[in-house]
Amino acid sequence: MDALHAKYPFFEGARDAVAGASASLPELVADDAPAVERARERVERALLEGTVEPETGEFGGSAADVDARAELLSYPIARILVSLLDSEPAIEKYAAAEASTALDRLRADLERDDGLRSTPTPTVDLDDVLAEFDLSTAVRAEPVRGSRDPSHYRIAVGPYLRLSSPSWGDSWRLVNRALADGAVRVSREELLEALGAAIEARVREGLPFELDADEGIAAELESRVAELKRLLSERTYAGPIDVVAPDLFPPCMENLIGKAERGVELSGPESFALMAFLVGIGMSPDEVVAFCADTSLDAEGIRYQTEYLADDRGTQYPPPTCETLSNYGICHNEEDHMRVAADPLSYYETRVKAADDGDIVDWREEHGRAATGSESDDGEPAVEGEEPVEEETAER
């Protein structure tokens, strides 16, 4: 089985490879083959960390990597798993994680490829990806004298509008772009971002599958789905408490913070639980970065994960319940606190409500409300020396 198919499982060639493989997905699931556990890991890491790379390290497609067959077959099984979660936000986040991982792999391929394909690791080039998404004629490189790699490209208006989004910022608006002969000028990195949108759309296509949860492959995967649901704790939550009082944090969160302050690296579930809690109580990514400044947590990783949790798809996953955290060795039910509340946010909310207002010290008031600057009277960030600008209303 081609390792390149395992590396980019959403390619048409990979789909054909799965269809032609001497492997039945129901039989693989019934036999609990390695691809099944890899699929569960794929979905878990997608939803918690925004990546589908194996825990053991990045998959590059070489002989030293995990089995390419299991890696490839894990993709269709992962799509079944995420369908069985029955959560639209989960599907969106899963597709985004697959696209993000694919883009990281593509960037690595483009850096590794010397133009002679002498690298022992299977790679794709930009032309391969453009052809995969029928964009070969829609995208052309701007020639650069003395350089093999162009820095800018021209992409036809139609594909540009289809693959970009207004939510990406004003710089992507058509009125702010150089447009000539029906093509839009983009940088190399911007072209890759647009390709990421094409990948995400392809992964998202067809999800969720219509499956009877009590029959066939869905029934065989029931325990895996239940495991993911327990970890993700799909619950409703009233909203952020909007007060940061570390003295009132639940014991499990205090333990995680203390562990990170001692320089110990947190596991994936530990990091997710802590970040989801801090976002859940109303902290912004900037505030979380500042709050965790003297810990083992990496600022870039904090910002990525908190923005991922609080992005425009919504923070659909609050911290796992105390029971699930206990299964991961994170919660130890100190002082029998599970009798007070079943999850960290509810426990914290109970403690905040029980405390006297005069005894609550908000960390943000001590360290600056947004940890990045002051606010104006109307609650909007105050920017010195700038006049209000009338918002552009033209449609792209």
> Whole-angstrom Cα distance, residue 63 to residue 120?
9
Q: What is the pLDDT of residues 107-122, one digit of tens each?
A: 999 987 655 555 567 8
**Binning pLDDT at 50, 70 and 90, where does residue 317 land?**
low
Eight-state DSSP code of residue 247 = G
Mean pLDDT of the 366-391 span: 45
User: What gap in Å lies between CA 102 and CA 94, rounded to an integer?
Assistant: 12
Say if CB 191 and CB 199 are below 8 A apart. no
By C-alpha distance, which of 180, 260, 264, 203 is closest to 79? 203
What single string gives the DSSP state of each residue in 274-311? HHHHHHHTT--HHHHHHHTTTSSS-HHHHHHHHHHHTS
Q: Name the E strands within 249-395.
A: none
User: For the segment 56-94, what is each residue's pLDDT rounded down to a tens digit?
Assistant: 877 765 544 458 889 999 999 999 999 998 888 789 889
Q: How far apart are CA 340 and CA 150, in angstroms?
A: 61
Question: Do 25 and 76 meet the contact criterion of CB atoms below 8 Å apart?
Answer: yes
Provide the pLDDT for residue 313: 46
User: Could you tell me the sign of the dihedral formed by the alpha carbons of 121, 122, 125, 130, in that order?
Assistant: negative
* Bridge partners, 183 (sequence order): 156, 180
Tens digit of pLDDT for each residue in 326-363?
878 888 888 777 777 878 888 898 889 888 877 788 89
- Please tell me the distance from the alpha carbon of residue 157 to that of residue 180, in angstroms, as a whole number: 10
C-alpha to C-alpha distance for 316 and 319, rounded to whole angstroms:
10
Q: What is the pTM of this model?
A: 0.67
Contacts of 14 (CB under 8 A, 6+ apart): 2, 5, 6, 8, 72, 75
The CA-atom distances, in angstroms, between 101 and each of 164, 173, 389 are 19, 26, 37
- What are the structural domain ranges in the chain? 3-204, 235-367
Q: With left for phi above 0 and alpha for psi between -120 and 50, is residue 112 left, alpha or beta?
A: alpha
**Contact indicator for 115, 109 with CB cutoff of 8 Å:** no
Structure tokens at 52: 């589908």
Return the CATH fold of 3-204: Transcription Elongation Factor S-II; Chain A (1.20.930)
